[in-house]
Structure 1
Amino acid sequence: MESRHVTTPFGRRPITLALVSRQIATKEIRSDKTTDKWKVLRDASEARKFLGVQDRSLAVLEALLSFYPENELRQGCQLVVFPSNAQLTLRAHGIAGATLRRHLALLVEAGLIVRRDSANGKRYARKNKSGSVESAFGFDLSPLLMRAEELAQMAQRVCADRIAYRRAKEDLTICRRDVRKLISAAIGEGADGHWQKLEAVYLELVRRIPRAPLLSDLHGLLEEMEMLREEVLNVLDIKQKAEFLSANDDHNEHHKQSSNTESLYELEPGSDVEERAMPCQNREPANIALKVFPLDMVLRACPEIVAYGPNGRVASWRDLTSASVIVRSMLGVTPSAYQEACDAIGPQNAAVMIACILERAGHINSAGGYMRALTSKSKRGQFSLGPVLMSLLRTKGISSRSGHDHGAVP
């Protein structure tokens, strides 16, 4: 039967079940296993954060390894070193006695070495008649051999985290610079947009950057800063599109006019039976039949979005579009989801959709996913904003015909 003898520490030092397990585990190392002792030391140095040891502890470990005569730790050889405290102090760069004992205890607790104490606590070796070491009492280096692969993996993880940290920090710096310069350029050239609000969001993000951020902090801040950059670019793009639509307003109005401009059901698809009976090749894309609802009715149904317009008011479709861009970011709707809605139902109806989502934000778990789902249904002709607006008006006890302007707002 294989012996699984363990050694308890001398004096008042306690024994724990973890220490017992580590001693037993060292007996199970493969007989042919070897490793370079200095490579293990380098890996342990890299992984010190995971091991919970300090630089001085590693200096003591290096001193212990220097007393092992070979460069390779090999199972089956004598892996116990037995230097005195005076010798260890000398090789550990003059470390004080109390400090030496504390860091030896830390190395034992971290599972990097095991104590093999003699009956009186002294460190020495017994030799046979030929002069070879038969048994020794001191510090067993077997855990380093046993954990060589584990320490190497820890070191690789630390290295990967360091690279990821540096890249995240660089990406955040570049993104921060982009946002700052884009906002400054927009303000300096007098571009339309809520640049003061966007700048306030930027300054708040910068304020939240810690002096010594963790990798998780950098990833979170980078994601928010990238969203803000997309927001800035999206505002610039939306402004350009709004100007283009305004310039072509007269041409588009010929296609939007209807003899019944107040109907809330103009966008509704036919029944399920009619949808199934209609051949796919004969169905027109949903966005061809889309109409723009009266702005006055939209604002009565969705008053919450008014606060996000220029100077806290919405007086035109341009103001509503600008407000929807701010609200889109606040709700966590990605620029791509918003752009998809603009392409499918037009910028004005996309702004109305954002206004409706804001009005019911407390009942929606994921505004971005909800908007994508509505956009997809709109493309298939299975969703209309009309019933949504009418439902919101009914909830507020407002008639869909109240107000002064029921015509489509150009």
Structure 2
Amino acid sequence: MTLSQISRQMAAKAIKPDTAAHKWHVFKDIREARELIGATDRGLAILNALLTFHPETTLAGDAELVVWPSNEQLMARANGMPATTLRRHLAVLVDCGLIIRRDSPNGKRFARKGRSGEIEQAYGFDLSPIVARAEEFKDLAEAVRDEKKAFRVAKEQLTLLRRDIVKLIDVGIEERVPGNWGRVQQSYQAIVGRLPRSAPRQTVEEVCMDLHGLCSEIRDVLESFAKTQNLDANESHFGRHIQNSNPDSISESEYSFGKEDEAGGNAAETDNVRSLPRRDLPLGIVLDACPEIRELAQGGVIRHWRDLLAAAEVARPMLGISPSAWREACEVIGEQHAAITLAGIYQRAGQINNAGGYLRSLTDRARDGKFSTWPMVMALLRAKLDAQKAADTLDRGRSNDAAEAGDRLQVSDSLLKSLQRPKSR
């Protein structure tokens, strides 16, 4: 005997006489909520057998609810359950508060009837908790059904998210959308790998939240790229068409980007541009030399190197440069210098028929120490200064307004002196 059993007996005694419950409806609720109640499958089989010994389908609070079958009868109706198993699971039913033992002085189960045939005293198993706790069992069963429904919805959402993310990653790879798709796949596998073989609903929902965030990020990238492609198809926005032809059309000035050996730094290098110091290029100089890359930046503004890298990722597919060529350039000269190189190629895209082949050529030269971004940027700056000089010659005699002065390339005196120094032949 335990205190919980005593409290359940008190609740059973407090049943109102007019209370009634359909025994099979209550048994169905108990079966659905058996895990919350603590019942076992064998215990439910015994309870089902006990209910069959009560002649009435509706159990009333004012009726005699004690049944007294022998162990042999119970074993027969419980599909031949062994006696030891029967006793063990009868104890489980008592502990769960589904039945109450009404023991006789000698431990036997029987009923004593009066002269009129009515039962005066019965010893066996009291089924009154079935009536007393009918509403409780109904609420527990409803909670279990709601939990199963929520779990089913979570698993369906998980399946849809996994399918959508795999398809979106495939689209990004096949359409050559800029991005580190290998890293995206690793992130997806890491999230899915947190799912155990039998995951609870809370774990499934947490994984779904992370997958939903990843799916939203992938969609944003693909939608942004699709918008860029639509703008590119409009031709009026960019005003050029990149052609992919077999031969590399590289002019003499393009060879000056990296044709000669720059690694040695000896006296044989007579190009004034190539004699500039070996240091990182300022972002402002790169943008002065390659202003058209700003078109591809978000908001048309590049303030940091990461903005230039993002614009380069957009320019790469527009120039027809394959992901492998871009990846190789980043590995050889670094992401920052690869972005500068691509900005220079984009600046002169109208003079380069095969941008992908040209980038691979520059990457090979950089691997051999024959190419760096300084000469390329300086050559573009010098070309821009020459164009400005020609414009000044043609416009001499006319006053320049403030807007024309604002568009002119501004460089330092030392850099201007270095760019204007004649090259030795």
User: Considering the TM-score relative to the shorter chain, is it more than 0.5?
Assistant: yes
1:44 aligns with 2:30: yes
1:169 aligns with 2:155: yes
For residues 160-199 of structure 1, what are the structure 2 equivalents within 5 Å? Answer: 160-199=146-185
**CA 1:296–1:88 in 2, change beyond 3 Å: closer, same or farther?**
closer
Corresponding residue for 2:87? 101
Partners of 2:300 and 2:202 lie apart in 1 by 46
The superposition leaves residues 68-109 of structure 1 with CA deviations (integer Å, 9 ceiling, x where unpaired) of 110011001100111111110000100000000010000000
The superposition leaves residues 348-404 of structure 1 with CA deviations (integer Å, 9 ceiling, x where unpaired) of xxxxxxxxxxxxxxxxxxxxxxxxxxxxxxxxxxxxxxxxxxxxxxxxxxxxxxxx9
Q: 1:294 aligns with which of 289, 293, 303?
A: 303
The superposition leaves residues 40-66 of structure 1 with CA deviations (integer Å, 9 ceiling, x where unpaired) of 111100001101111111000000000
The superposition leaves residues 262-289 of structure 1 with CA deviations (integer Å, 9 ceiling, x where unpaired) of 9xxxxxxxxxxxxxxxxxxxxxxxxxxx
For residues 184-223 of structure 1, what are the structure 2 equivalents within 5 Å? Answer: 184-223=170-209
Q: 1:142 aligns with which of 128, 136, 140?
A: 128
Q: CA deviation at 1:241?
A: 5.3
The superposition leaves residues 170-210 of structure 1 with CA deviations (integer Å, 9 ceiling, x where unpaired) of 11111101100110121122121121111111122222222
Q: 2:99 aligns with which of 113, 133, 139?
A: 113
Q: CA deviation at 1:30?
A: 1.6
Secondary structure of 2:55's aligned partner: coil
Long gaps (5+) in structure 2: 240-282, 285-298, 309-329, 343-414, 416-425
Partners of 1:175 and 1:92 lie apart in 2 by 46
**Which AA in structure 1 matches 2:71?**
N
Corresponding residue for 1:277? none
Q: CA deviation at 1:133?
A: 0.5
Partners of 2:74 and 2:206 lie apart in 1 by 46
**Which AA in structure 1 matches 2:303?**
P
**Which AA in structure 1 matches 2:4?**
A
Corresponding residue for 1:151? 137
1:53 aligns with 2:39: yes
Partners of 2:26 and 2:230 lie apart in 1 by 66
**CA 1:198–1:314 in 2, change beyond 3 Å: closer, same or farther?**
farther
**CA 1:292–1:98 in 2, change beyond 3 Å: closer, same or farther?**
same
Q: CA deviation at 1:238?
A: 3.3
**Which AA in structure 1 matches 2:158?**
L
Long gaps (5+) in structure 1: 1-14, 251-260, 263-289, 300-309, 320-403, 405-410
Secondary structure of 2:17's aligned partner: coil
Partners of 1:20 and 1:294 lie apart in 2 by 76
**CA 1:185–1:249 in 2, change beyond 3 Å: closer, same or farther?**
closer
1:91 aligns with 2:77: yes
**Which AA in structure 2 matches 1:46?**
E
Secondary structure of 2:122's aligned partner: strand
Partners of 2:306 and 2:39 lie apart in 1 by 67
Partners of 2:303 and 2:152 lie apart in 1 by 52
**CA 1:291–1:175 in 2, change beyond 3 Å: closer, same or farther?**
closer
Corresponding residue for 1:80? 66
TM-score (norm 2): 0.56
Secondary structure of 1:181's aligned partner: helix
Corresponding residue for 2:112? 126
RMSD of aligned alpha carbons: 2.9
**Which AA in structure 1 matches 2:224?**
I
Partners of 1:138 and 1:152 lie apart in 2 by 26
**CA 1:139–1:196 in 2, change beyond 3 Å: closer, same or farther?**
same
